[in-house]
Structure 1
Amino acid sequence: MTEQHNSPIKSFFQLFTRPFVLIANFTRHFLLLLVFMLILWFFIGGTRVTLKDNTALVIAPKGFIVDQYSGDPRSQAIDNIQGRDIPETRLRDILKAIKMAATDEQISALVINPDYMWGAGMANLREIERAVDDFRASSNKPVIAMATNLSQGQYYLASLADEVLMDPQGFIFLQGFGSYRNYFKEGLDKLGVDVHLFKVGEYKSAAEPYVRNDMSQEAKEAGLHFMNDLWETYLNGIANRRELSVETLQEIVDQQAQKLIEKNGSVADMALDNGLVDRIMKKSFMHKRIAEVSSFDDDNNLFRGIAFEDYLQTADDSMLDAQNRIAVVVAEGTIMGGEQHPGTIGGASTSALLQQARLDRSVKAVVLRVNSPGGGVYPSEQIRREVDALKVAGKPVVVSMGNVAASGGYWISMTADAIYADQATITGSIGIYGLLMTYPELFKKLGIHTDGIGTTKWVGAFSPDKELDPEFAELIQSNIEYGYEQFISSVAAARGLSVEMVDRIARGRVWTAKQAHDLGLVDHLGGIQDAINDAVERAGLNDNHSVVWVEEQLTLTEQLLVDFMAKAADYIDFSTSPGLINVHQLLQPYQAELNMLLAQQPGQVLTMAHCFCDLKRLP
């Protein structure tokens, strides 16, 4: 064995680099210690919400009221950290805060401020209405609304209060319900685009804008039928609280222009004179009024209040039962194929959430919260099969319909053990259609010609640059009719109705849940809490149970990073440019149409169970 000696050059470099190695090791250990201290600070440090006596809980929704935030949760978290207002408020957070406040002795009043709410479906507004009514009945605490400008949805939310305060420069306008869409046939004809529509049911009008220049008579008839029923629900809700008759309220709506002239153009005076609001006050006086039922804060001449988002941080969920749980899975948005982020229903991703609930031994029953106008046929069927798999596994499934659960939204609901819906829920639209676009005339205009060969007459049948073969069109129509028969047969089997009966009430026709309940398409009229209570009973659980929302989550590493960034953001001013047009708000009315068109793949017919009947887009 020979003894090895370092060369002088090697020894020199070892001696030269040793300090750098020591510095690197020290830096590494220092960073690890710093990370440990930050994690420890996360668990025991940071800003905590403190609640004082005589505090008013403030319900001030921002953006649209939804069942779950839409989009990638990672992007949502970053937006939240940087102080960008997410243009959505979760319904469950509002309901939970109101329920907590009813038994909280430090909360003395409930304040509703709808100024920053962009829109909400009638069913979601009525969920809040039930929560406010329970709060008032169980706590005997006052409910006051303060508002500047009131759109139709904002006014319904404000009207839930015992007292409505309005700014003297405020505005209110009630316009009723309706549906106006753009129709593209003439424009598509000019471009040389041929749209081929295959459908069953004279009321299935979702794709009409691509083949007509106006609304069909059947669509007008069916639309007015359910919208008048919805409008009656709206008027009844306000009339009962404002101690007006429905006839008087309808007269106020019809004669808004004349009544405004009589008050010299003052909307606030017109609203006060007709009993729509209780007091006209500038904001400073509103704060003084609310301080009478709460108190003034310590720093400003404002009432002492806490935003419901902050108030939720005071909740103690440590005593919740972790072994007997009711899982709530949200299906909100257009139904699309594959993996989709929240806000859009993915055939694969939503099925995976239901499967997660099925495999979780602590979950004893599932509530499927559906807020969808439908979408793709196959992804709808994927989700429905997972509902059946839950039932086979011995776990009851109860559906709670939100603002809309129509077409594909009804498809994924129909085989549940029970279906609950608010009387203002829009449902039905049982039917499917196929859409195929070709543009041979456009190619001719451009001087582009198509020619070739094939081994059968079907080669190139889907080619958009060729005219649609009549025999191929018959093939597609036959398949659409088969899909419709499958749909109504499944509804008949699930609902205990004859196929003939389902066909009469289907054919793409839209109903309110109140109408659908009379027709046998819905089991019970009620909200999400009614559905949860039903699931608890079916699972044989007592009061000692908990509710868990199963949805896409951040990983532990991502959550730790986000929480650290959030705490760091307390010391950083992430300012956003004021006055910018919100693109989300501008595009929201057209999102469903864009999603539908983007779903079409080359070489296939866009087969949809979809209904453009969600009235949330109305102000």
Structure 2
Amino acid sequence: MLKLFKGIYAIFLCVRECIINLFFILFLLTGFASIAFLVNGSDTNKSKEPNEKVALRLNLSGYLTDNHDDFAHRLIQSELTNDESLKASTFDVVRAIGKAAKDPNITGIVLDLSKFEGSDHSSLSFIGSELKAFKTSGKPVIAIGENYSQSQYYLASFADKIYLNKAGSINLQGLNFSSLYFKALLDKIDAVPHIFRVGTYKSAVEPFLRNDMSDEAKQNAQTLLNSIWHQFRTDIAENRMIAVDQVLPEPKSLIEKYKAVNANDAQYALNQKLVTDIGSKAEIEQALIEQFGKNEKGIYQHINYADYALNLTDRFAVNAEHKIAVINVEGEIISGKSKERSAGSETISELLRQAREDNNVDGVILRVNSPGGSVVASEIILQELQSIQQAGKPVVTSMGGLAASGGYWISATSDKIIASPNTITGSIGIFGLAMTFEKTAKHLGISEDGVATSPLAKTSSLQHLSNEHAELIQINIENGYDAFLDLVSRGRNMSKAEVDKVAQGQVWSGEDALKHGLVDQLGDFHTAYDVLTDLINQKRKAKGENEIKHFTAQWFIESDKGLFSSLLKNIGFKAKSTLAVWLGLPFVPQTQQAAELLQKFNDPQNTYLYCLTCGTIK
């Protein structure tokens, strides 16, 4: 026995030393990288304003996100983790394009999107609109690529000229919509899902009850997908000045056109007028040199996006008399502090309080990109938003790619709601979920027993849910749904019966949501800004105060986010993927998404405002 304890203690010491050494190594790496960053790239933190005529090379990498980005952190992280797929902020991309339009040293934009992994259609449209505005300056936008994914090509379509390598292709195949289903998984581990719901539209919780999509859910998803795809094709057709049918012909016509060019993808794209020209890499480079001039390296004159973005004004520390606060709610809404891909009620509420108490803040833009989450967390955020309105400061919601269920709950009473035509919203509904594992435990030979003063005190996940508990949760769900209808009714000036018709967990595009009265206007973040400034000035006029011509937008963010914490997150993700490879397990985004989703269903009341059927559009 003594040897056993000695062995356990030795293992403990070994693990302890490994952890200490790991943190020491991370500390040294961070320090060395920071020093190298400051010494070798001392100009990186300084102004990178071009002092000669150059093109802005918009070479985005990774995926777009609403949340803030720190380029210095990204550069160091990239060196330490050898990971170029780091998130960029949609807002910084848009601001860089806007700055370039007025910059006399920027002669045009080159869209080099080979490492761009895409984004939701709302964000792509937002950037596309800014590219359109840029072209009014008289400066050209040119897209280059060896291949174009669907998202890459959508952005490229806003260019004046699109070049495609003669060996390349454009991957236009249409959109598909998918959701994850967990019934088979739950069956395998003998988990028992206790589902509670209300209303006639039942598909909201079917991922826990089925292994596939029901006909009812398919119909709703198809309507949503058709709306987004129509907008997608229309935008491309207008940008390229071609017929909508040319973007992606019907399969039979497509096959005939491919046969006519001997399955040459590049020639097909040229014939369809999807691109301006095709050529070799050298030929495309020469076209850029003729347009923008040659630098000392023998390539076209340009400045990279990451370097140019360092010149953007700090949108997080703003010293102005009249400000608009921007609060991002991105990811699942959870209780507590925000985490990676999650918006914590404690964090968001604190930022909203700061905006309310800041005398220089005249109004708030709530930027929502969330499928919802915890009922309690959503309600806490809503209460703080209503406190801002009670303080006389208007709130306008700017919906991103997804603002559904809990994302709609926190938006419902805003003074105005602005959505993109491609926003996925609605999902007005509530469900209850409690997982018990009594069968799993029995299979493993584990049992649990004891005494309690009340049946309600028995809340173990290793015991079957009691009838009393189940009844309480069902009552909570029914009252919660009624409260949701009442909230939307008051916020949108609709009767509860009218809300119920478009509720029941149904999901809508922004375009359809406008028809149903769930949003006020279609537009992007700029639209929300303009609407909010009008509301603020209306209030000022009513009080006999002068109109304010310009408000400075300030993004309110957590003050304790730093390089070390973001570095640990990045390394943690890499470690999980590496471990999965070692164990021979699949580690794909869907696997990670499923694991994270199941972990987040931990609301103490077992009630959720979450759009399980919003799925992934790609």
Q: Same fold (TM over 0.5)?
A: yes
Q: Secondary structure at the match of 1:171?
A: coil
Any residues of structure 2 matched to 1:108-507 within 5 Å, and which?
A: 108-137=107-136, 139-203=137-201, 205-251=203-249, 255-297=253-295, 299-315=296-312, 322-341=320-339, 343-460=341-458, 462-507=459-504
Q: Secondary structure at the match of 1:464?
A: coil
In structure 1, the partner of 2:596 is: 595
* CA gap 1:159/1:245 in 2 versus in 1, 3 angstroms: same
Q: Secondary structure at the match of 1:251?
A: coil
* CA gap 1:104/1:365 in 2 versus in 1, 3 angstroms: same
Taking only the aligned residue pairs, the percentage that are identical comes to 35
Deviates more, 1:257-266 or 1:511-520: 257-266
Q: Give the conservation status (yes or no) of the 8 Å contact 1:109–1:293.
A: no
Deviates more, 1:315-324 or 1:478-487: 315-324
Deviates more, 1:509-518 or 1:162-171: 162-171
Q: CA offset at residue 308 of structure 1?
A: 2.3
Q: Give the conservation status (yes or no) of the 8 Å contact 2:71–2:310.
A: no
1:92 and 2:98 correspond: no
* CA gap 1:254/1:354 in 2 versus in 1, 3 angstroms: farther
Query: In structure 2, what is the Cα distance between the partners aligned to 1:243 and 1:343?
Result: 38
Q: Give the conservation status (yes or no) of the 8 Å contact 2:71–2:306.
A: no
Q: CA offset at residue 481 of structure 1?
A: 1.0
Q: Secondary structure at the match of 1:481?
A: helix
In structure 2, the partner of 1:101 is: 100
In structure 1, the partner of 2:59 is: 60
Partner of residue 524 from structure 2, selected from 524, 527, 532: 527
Larger gyration radius, structure 1 or structure 2: 1
In structure 2, the partner of 1:28 is: none
How many residues of Structure 1 are paired with residues of Structure 2 in the alignment?
558
Q: Secondary structure at the match of 1:146?
A: strand
Query: In structure 1, what is the Cα distance between the partners aligned to 2:169 and 2:429?
Result: 41
Query: In structure 2, what is the Cα distance between the partners aligned to 1:73 and 1:249?
Result: 36
Q: Give the conservation status (yes or no) of the 8 Å contact 1:142–1:293.
A: no
TM-score under structure 2 length normalisation: 0.83
Q: CA offset at residue 371 of structure 1?
A: 0.7
In structure 2, the partner of 1:20 is: none
Query: In structure 1, what is the Cα distance between the partners aligned to 2:59 and 2:175?
Result: 24
* CA gap 1:149/1:614 in 2 versus in 1, 3 angstroms: farther
In structure 2, the partner of 1:551 is: 557
Q: CA offset at residue 255 of structure 1?
A: 4.8
In structure 1, the partner of 2:607 is: 607
Deviates more, 1:84-93 or 1:399-408: 84-93
Query: In structure 1, what is the Cα distance between the partners aligned to 2:480 and 2:382?
Result: 15
Q: Give the conservation status (yes or no) of the 8 Å contact 2:473–2:606.
A: no
Query: In structure 1, what is the Cα distance between the partners aligned to 2:431 and 2:177?
Result: 20
Q: CA offset at residue 367 of structure 1?
A: 0.7
Question: Which letter maps to 1:494?
Answer: G
Query: In structure 2, what is the Cα distance between the partners aligned to 1:536 and 1:46?
Result: 33
Q: CA offset at residue 415 of structure 1?
A: 1.0
Q: Give the conservation status (yes or no) of the 8 Å contact 1:68–1:342.
A: no
In structure 2, the partner of 1:511 is: 508
Q: CA offset at residue 162 of structure 1?
A: 1.3
Query: In structure 2, what is the Cα distance between the partners aligned to 1:455 and 1:542?
Result: 64
Query: In structure 2, what is the Cα distance between the partners aligned to 1:109 and 1:582?
Result: 45
Q: Give the conservation status (yes or no) of the 8 Å contact 2:74–2:86.
A: no
Q: CA offset at residue 315 of structure 1?
A: 4.3
In structure 2, the partner of 1:536 is: 533
Query: In structure 2, what is the Cα distance between the partners aligned to 1:475 and 1:519?
Result: 33
Deviations 1:29-67 (A, max 9, x none): xxxxxxxxx99x999997542414431112122111111
Q: CA offset at residue 219 of structure 1?
A: 0.9
Q: CA offset at residue 612 of structure 1?
A: 3.8
Query: In structure 1, what is the Cα distance between the partners aligned to 2:251 and 2:306?
Result: 35
Q: Secondary structure at the match of 2:351?
A: helix
Q: CA offset at residue 161 of structure 1?
A: 0.6
Q: CA offset at residue 466 of structure 1?
A: 2.5
Deviations 1:557-604 (A, max 9, x none): x79x99xx9xxxxxxxxxxx9xx99999965445554333212449x5
Q: Give the conservation status (yes or no) of the 8 Å contact 2:327–2:352.
A: yes
Question: Which letter maps to 1:239?
Answer: A
Alignment gaps of 5+ in structure 1: 1-37, 566-576
* CA gap 1:54/1:253 in 2 versus in 1, 3 angstroms: farther
* CA gap 1:422/1:210 in 2 versus in 1, 3 angstroms: same
Q: Secondary structure at the match of 2:143?
A: strand
Alignment gaps of 5+ in structure 2: 1-36, 538-546, 568-573
Query: In structure 2, what is the Cα distance between the partners aligned to 1:326 and 1:186?
Result: 48
When the two chains are superposed, the root-mean-square deviation of aligned CA atoms in Å is 3.3
Question: Which letter maps to 1:598?
Answer: Q
Q: Give the conservation status (yes or no) of the 8 Å contact 1:222–1:509.
A: yes
Q: Secondary structure at the match of 2:464?
A: coil
* CA gap 1:88/1:258 in 2 versus in 1, 3 angstroms: farther
Deviations 1:148-174 (A, max 9, x none): 221111110111111110112223222
Deviations 1:154-196 (A, max 9, x none): 1101111111101122232222222223433234224322111
Question: Which letter maps to 2:365?
Answer: V
Q: Secondary structure at the match of 1:110?
A: strand
Question: Which letter maps to 1:611?
Answer: C
Query: In structure 2, what is the Cα distance between the partners aligned to 1:196 and 1:74?
Result: 47
Question: Which letter maps to 2:462?
Answer: D
Q: Secondary structure at the match of 2:94?
A: helix
* CA gap 1:316/1:223 in 2 versus in 1, 3 angstroms: closer
Deviations 1:322-367 (A, max 9, x none): 1111111111111111011363210110111111111111111111
* CA gap 1:219/1:499 in 2 versus in 1, 3 angstroms: same
Deviations 1:479-508 (A, max 9, x none): 111111101100000110000110110000
Query: In structure 1, what is the Cα distance between the partners aligned to 2:45 and 2:599?
Result: 44
Q: CA offset at residue 78 of structure 1?
A: 4.8
In structure 1, the partner of 2:33 is: none
* CA gap 1:210/1:303 in 2 versus in 1, 3 angstroms: same
Q: Give the conservation status (yes or no) of the 8 Å contact 2:436–2:462.
A: yes
Q: Secondary structure at the match of 1:536?
A: helix
Q: Give the conservation status (yes or no) of the 8 Å contact 1:321–1:544.
A: no
Query: In structure 1, what is the Cα distance between the partners aligned to 2:301 and 2:179?
Result: 45
Query: In structure 2, what is the Cα distance between the partners aligned to 1:98 and 1:45?
Result: 20
* CA gap 1:398/1:587 in 2 versus in 1, 3 angstroms: farther
Query: In structure 2, what is the Cα distance between the partners aligned to 1:371 and 1:304?
Result: 37
Q: Give the conservation status (yes or no) of the 8 Å contact 1:335–1:375.
A: yes
